Structure formats: structure tokens, C-alpha cells
Amino acid sequence: MTARPEVTHPPRSRLGRGGPFPWLLPVGLTIALFYLIPILDALRLAFTDASLLGREARFSLDAFGAMLGSPALGTVLRNTGVYVVASVTGQMALGLVIALLVVRGERHRLPGMVAVRTIVLAAWVIPGIANGVLWQMLFSEAPFGAVNSTLRLIGLPPVAWLSDPGMAMVSVILATVWQGTAYSMILLYAALRTIDETLYEAAAVDAATPLERFWFITLPELRSALLVNAILVMVMTLNTFDVVIALTGGGPGRATEVLALHTYTTVFRGFDLAGGSVLAILLLMISMLAAIGIAAALPRGEGR
């Protein structure tokens, strides 16, 4: 009995041989050097007149005025709003529908559910650039473009997928939803499988309709998962620019220029480092505010 006092000790005591700091050092250094210092530096650069071409930088508030006062910013922010809200809603709604169908199929032992999951997830592993290039070929307005030549086969008129400003945004959103849905699907699929089966059995006793079961059991049970998913997908979508640059390049005109792409163009095409830093910080602030806004809706006390 007295030979095993170790086991009853709380975890803390076993660690008497040094704190967590040596363990945290590599990650700590990485985050300091590649995230914290650059973020502070971006903040500093925003208050200068620095350009990418190495001119000596002086303190200046001009970049703020030039960027925030620019007439392009209004268009860019409106595009970003439309793009993010529509893409996130589309990805989550479609992801939820697929997850519900797959979980139902698995519960009733229907064959083919793994294949469904695999096909949807396959789109997710495709590089964003390849995704943009792929959809550019699908939406090609040449007579042999995939969608338009299919429309012609069934006797419908062609659509100006990429040259019409309104349709171009729809096209970019479609390509984004196509690629991103898998992420929402897999997270919601995992959450659906943790819902207690007896809740549905009780509902069956009460003769609840499928819609009632979805509304009064599934959705409330999924609340946390949906909100966490919304935060992650929204931040990812806000930061997306590879699909857009490859599919439309932000055009026609500025019709699909979102904030991430606008930031990139300002720095690496316009060589305006200070202006780009202002926009990058704006992007960071929008991400943070939106994430905090959604997180506020999370149920309290579920500190997992």
C-alpha cells in the first residue's frame, strides 16, 4: 500500500522537474517572429509613407487618408460583404443539408454514403488557384465553354458568367461554395453524430413531424457547432483571394475585388506598403469583430 503514493498525487506534482516553458519555446518563438512582430510592424508601417521599393519611411498619416478616403474602398467593402455573407451562408446551408442526408443514410444503412462524403471532400483538397482556373474553364464564355455549351445543347441562351459584373460575383461565390462546403459538412456531420438518439425516439413517441424534429431538436443541439463553424468559415472566406484572383482577377472592373485581393494589389502591384498595411489592419479588425460578434452568441458555461 505505502509503495504507491505516486498514483494519488495530482498531475501538478509529477512535473516538479521544470515548468512548461522549454516546451513552449519553439512555438513561442515562431509566433513571436512570424506573427506578433510582423503585426506590430504592419501597424507601424500604416503610420508611415513606406513603399515596397525601399525608400526611407517617415511618420505620416497620409496612408490612412488615402486608403480610407479612396472611392474604391466603398466598392471593395460592399463586394466583400456580399461575397462573404453569400459564400458562408451557401457553404453552411449546403454543408448542413449534405451532413443531414449522409447521417440519415448511415442510420438506415444505405450504401454509398462514404462515396458521397469522399466526393464532396475531394473539392476541398483542390488548391484554391486550381479551383479558380477550373471554374474559369467551366464559365468560359467561348462557344465551347462547359456551362454555356451545355445550355446551348438544351436550347437555352448563354450566360455572361464572367463579363457581366453581377454574374461575375455569382460565379465567384459558386466556385467558393463548391470548394468550401466540405469543411462545413464534415464539422456538422461530426456534431450531428453526437446528438443523443433518445431525443429523436422521444420525438417519435410524440409523433413529431420531420420538420418539427429538425426545428426543435437538431437545430438547437447544433447551435454551438453552427456558430463555431460560422466563425471559422467566415474568417477563412474573408481572407480568401486565390480563387478570386484566378477566376476573375477582381474584375470586370472592380466587380469582384474583395478586401483581401484589394490589399494584395495595393502592396504588390501598386508598391504601396503603407496603404497595404492600412488595408491589412482593416481586414484583421473586420475578422476579429465578426468573430467576436458571432462568439457572443455562443451559449455560456459550455467552456470546453
* Interacting residues with another protein between 236 and 255 (CB under 8 A): 238-239, 241-242, 245-246
The smaller minimum CB distance to another protein, of residues 17 and 300, is found at 17
Which of 1, 2, 8, 18 binds another protein (CB under 8 A)? It is 18
Which of 119, 219, 289, 297 binds another protein (CB under 8 A)? It is 119
User: Which residue's entry shows cell 508601417?
Assistant: 45
List Cα–Cα distances, 76 to 6, 15, 227, 271, in angstroms.
Answer: 62, 53, 26, 19
Query: For the chain, how are helix, strand and coil distributed in percent, rounded to 5?
Result: 70, 0, 30
Q: Does 300 bind another protein (CB under 8 A)?
A: no
Ramachandran assignment for 298, one of left (phi > 0), alpha (psi -120 to 50 degrees), beta (any other): beta
* Piece of the chain touching another protein by CB under 8 A; list 59-67, 81-89, 159-167, 231-239: 231-239
* Piece of the chain touching another protein by CB under 8 A; list 38-46, 72-80, 82-90, 164-172: 38-46
In terms of Cβ atoms closer than 10 Å to its own Cβ (0-12, 13-18, 19+), residue 266 is buried
Angstrom distance (rounded) from CA 50 to CA 56? 7
Taking the complex as a whole, the smallest distance from the CB of residue 294 to another protein amounts, in Å, to 12
Which of 48, 171, 237, 263 binds another protein (CB under 8 A)? It is 263
Which of 24, 68, 93, 219 binds another protein (CB under 8 A)? It is 24
Which of 135, 161, 180, 255 binds another protein (CB under 8 A)? It is 135
Residues 41-60 that bind another protein (CB under 8 A): 41-42, 45, 52
Contact characters 271-290, another protein, x per CB under 8 A: --x--xx--xx-xx--xx--
Angstrom distance (rounded) from CA 243 to CA 87? 12
List Cα–Cα distances, 67 to 39, 74, 122, 206, in angstroms.
Answer: 18, 10, 39, 60
| Cβ partners under 8 Å of residue 144, min gap 6 | none
Angstrom distance (rounded) from CA 166 to CA 280? 26
The smaller minimum CB distance to another protein, of residues 41 and 212, is found at 41
Taking the complex as a whole, the smallest distance from the CB of residue 246 to another protein amounts, in Å, to 6
Q: Does 85 bind another protein (CB under 8 A)?
A: no
**Peptide bond connecting 111 to the previous residue in cis, omega within 30 degrees of 0:** no
The smaller minimum CB distance to another protein, of residues 20 and 166, is found at 20
- What is the phi/psi pair of residue 48, to 5°? -125, -175
Residues 137-176 that bind another protein (CB under 8 A): 137-138, 140, 142-146, 148-150, 152-153
